[in-house]
C-alpha cells in the first residue's frame, strides 16, 4: 500500500554554530521533569512559512511555533530556546537529543513514525500545490504533467514529503531537482533550472507572494494516489524516549484545540476552514499506521 509522505524568552542558534555545539551530544531522553528543572525547553523549527519560521523581529512564528508556545505556557514552560535548522535536520536532531521537540508541522507519515514520536493528535491538515514561472509558460497544472511530459523538471526540498509522492505518481528521479531550502525555490524556478517547485499549497502560495517572477499554478489539480486525494496532517515531533513530555504536551494540545485562540492562530497563518476541521479527522496513531494515507 502506498505510504503518503507526508512538511517569549527566545534564544536563536545559527545553524552552523548549532551543529558544532551539538555534534558531540549523546542521544538521551528529555523528560518533563528534566525540562522543568532545567528551566527551559529547546524547540526546533525550519524556516518554512506558514508552518514555522523566524520573522524580521527575530520571533518564532507560524502554526507550529505559535501553537507550541501557547501549549507550553499552559504546561508552565515559558522559556523557549528556539533552534532554527533545515527541514531535513529536524528528525536527526531529535534522535540525537539536540532539542526536545520540533514545531514545524511535519506531516505524520508511517516511515517518520518509526524514527520519532508525534503528539497524539495532529495540529493541522493541508493540501498540495506547485510554484511555477510567472505566466506559467509550460502550462503546468498538476503533478501528473511531469509523468506525461518528460521534458519537464520539478524541484523539491531535501527531506520533504513530496519525494515519495512524486515517486508514487511515477515521476522519474531524472526529472527531479533537489534544493536545500524553500528560499531556493524562487530562483530555481525563475531561472528555469526547474519548471516548477512541488510543495504544500500554503508554502507555494507564500513563495509566490515574494516575487513577481513566479506564481502559484492555478488552476491546480490535487494529486490522487490509490484513489485518494493527497492531504497531509502536521504535528509536533519528539524523541522516542521522551514519552512523558510528549504525552503531557499532547494532553494540553487536545484542550487547546477546543479554543478560539487555536483556531485563530491557524486562520491567520492561512489555513482554510477545511484545513482546520480536517485536523480532527485522524489521530496520530491512525496516521502512523497508514490510515487515511
Kind and range of the H or E run holding 19? helix 15-22
Domain range spanning residue 219? 128-229
Q: Scanning the structure block, which residue is given the C-alpha cell 532539542? A: 99
pLDDT at 266: 96
Q: Is there a single domain that holds both residue 67 and residue 164? A: no
pLDDT at 29: 63
pLDDT at 30: 77
In contact, 50 and 270? CB cutoff 8 Å: yes
Q: What DSSP string describes 115-137? A: TSEE-SS-SEEE-EEEEEETT-T
Q: What DSSP string describes 52-108? A: BEE-TTS-EESHHHHHHHHHHHHTT---EEEEE--GGGHHHHHHTTSSSEEEEEEE-
- 274 within a domain of the structure (yes/no): yes
Strands of the chain (E only): list them: 41-45, 53-54, 60-61, 80-84, 101-107, 117-118, 124-126, 128-133, 154-157, 176-179, 196-200, 214-216, 224-225, 228-229, 232-238
Distance of alpha carbon 100 from alpha carbon 29, whole angstroms: 8
- 244 within a domain of the structure (yes/no): yes
Distance of alpha carbon 261 from alpha carbon 238, whole angstroms: 24
- 112 within a domain of the structure (yes/no): yes
Average pLDDT of the chain? 89
pLDDT at 11: 42
pLDDT at 8: 36
**The domain boundary residue, chosen from 186, 206, 229:** 229
CATH number at residue 214: 3.40.190.10
Distance of alpha carbon 184 from alpha carbon 178, whole angstroms: 10
Q: Is 237 helix (H, G, I), strand (E, B) or coil?
A: strand
Distance of alpha carbon 241 from alpha carbon 26, whole angstroms: 13
Q: Is there a single domain that holds both residue 22 and residue 99? A: yes
C-alpha cell recorded at residue 156: 523539491
**The domain boundary residue, chosen from 229, 244, 266:** 229
| Residue spans of the chain under pLDDT 70 | 1-29, 293
Q: Is there a single domain that holds both residue 56 and residue 195? A: no
In contact, 112 and 136? CB cutoff 8 Å: no
Q: Is there a single domain that holds both residue 202 and residue 62? A: no
pLDDT at 28: 54
Q: Is there a single domain that holds both residue 157 and residue 213? A: yes
pLDDT tens by residue, 92-129? 999 999 999 999 999 999 999 999 999 999 999 998 99
Q: Is there a single domain that holds both residue 30 and residue 173? A: no
**The domain boundary residue, chosen from 229, 247, 278:** 229
- 141 within a domain of the structure (yes/no): yes
pLDDT tens by residue, 222-243? 898 888 888 899 999 999 999 9
Is the bond preceding residue 191 a cis peptide, omega within 30 degrees? no
pLDDT at 274: 81
C-alpha cell recorded at residue 252: 494540553
Residue 230 has a CB neighbour count (10 Å cut-off) of 22
Establish how many alpha carbons lie within 13 A of residue 286's alpha carbon, considering only the half-sphere containing its beta carbon. Answer: 12
Tally the domains of the chain: 2
Q: Is there a single domain that holds both residue 116 and residue 239? A: yes
Q: Is there a single domain that holds both residue 30 and residue 74? A: yes
Distance of alpha carbon 70 from alpha carbon 163, whole angstroms: 32
pLDDT at 1: 38
Distance of alpha carbon 243 from alpha carbon 120, whole angstroms: 11
Q: Is there a single domain that holds both residue 137 and residue 211? A: yes
Amino acid at each position: 500500500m502506498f505510504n503518503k509522505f507526508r512538511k517569549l524568552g527566545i534564544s536563536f542558534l545559527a545553524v552552523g554554530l548549532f551543529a558544532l555545539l551539538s555534534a558531540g551530544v549523546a542521544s538521551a531522553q528529555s523528560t518533563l521533569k528534566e525540562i522543568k528543572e532545567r528551566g527551559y525547553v529547546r524547540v526546533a523549527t525550519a524556516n518554512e512559512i506558514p508552518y514555522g519560521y523566524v520573522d524580521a523581529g527575530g520571533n518564532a512564528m507560524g502554526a507550529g511555533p505559535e501553537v507550541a508556545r501557547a501549549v507550553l505556557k499552559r504546561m508552565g514552560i515559558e522559556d523557549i530556546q528556539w533552534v532554527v535548522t533545515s527541514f531535513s535536520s529536524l528528525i536527526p536532531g531529535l534522535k540525537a537529543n539536540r532539542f526536545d521537540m520540533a514545531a514545524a508541522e511535519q506531516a505524520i507519515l508511517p516511515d517518520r513514525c518509526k524514527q520519532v514520536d508525534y503528539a497524539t493528535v495532529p495540529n493541522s491538515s493541508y493540501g498540495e500545490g506547485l510554484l511555477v514561472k510567472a505566466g506559467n509558460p509550460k502550462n503546468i497544472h498538476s503533478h501528473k504533467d511531469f509523468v506525461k511530459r518528460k521534458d519537464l523538471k520539478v524541484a523539491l526540498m531535501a527531506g520533504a514529503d513530496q519525494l515519495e509522492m512524486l515517486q508514487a505518481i511515477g515521476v522519474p528521479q531524472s526529472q527531479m531537482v533537489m534544493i536545500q531550502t524553500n528560499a531556493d525555490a524562487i530562483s530555481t524556478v525563475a531561472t528555469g533550472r526547474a519548471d516548477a517547485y512541488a510543495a504544500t499549497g500554503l508554502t507555494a502560495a507564500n513563495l509566490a507572494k515574494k516575487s513577481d517572477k513566479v506564481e502559484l499554478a492555478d488552476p491546480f489539480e490535487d494529486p490522487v494516489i490509490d484513489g485518494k486525494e493527497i492531504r497531509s496532517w502536521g504535528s509536533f515531533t519528539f524523541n522516542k524516549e521522551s514519552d512523558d513530555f510528549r504525552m503531557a504536551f499532547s494532553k494540553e494540545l487536545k484542550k487547546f484545540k477546543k479554543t478560539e485562540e487555536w483556531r485563530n492562530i491557524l486562520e491567520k497563518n492561512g489555513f482554510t476552514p477545511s484545513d482546520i476541521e480536517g485536523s480532527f479527522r485522524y489521530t496520530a496513531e491512525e496516521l502512523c499506521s497508514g490510515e487515511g494515507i
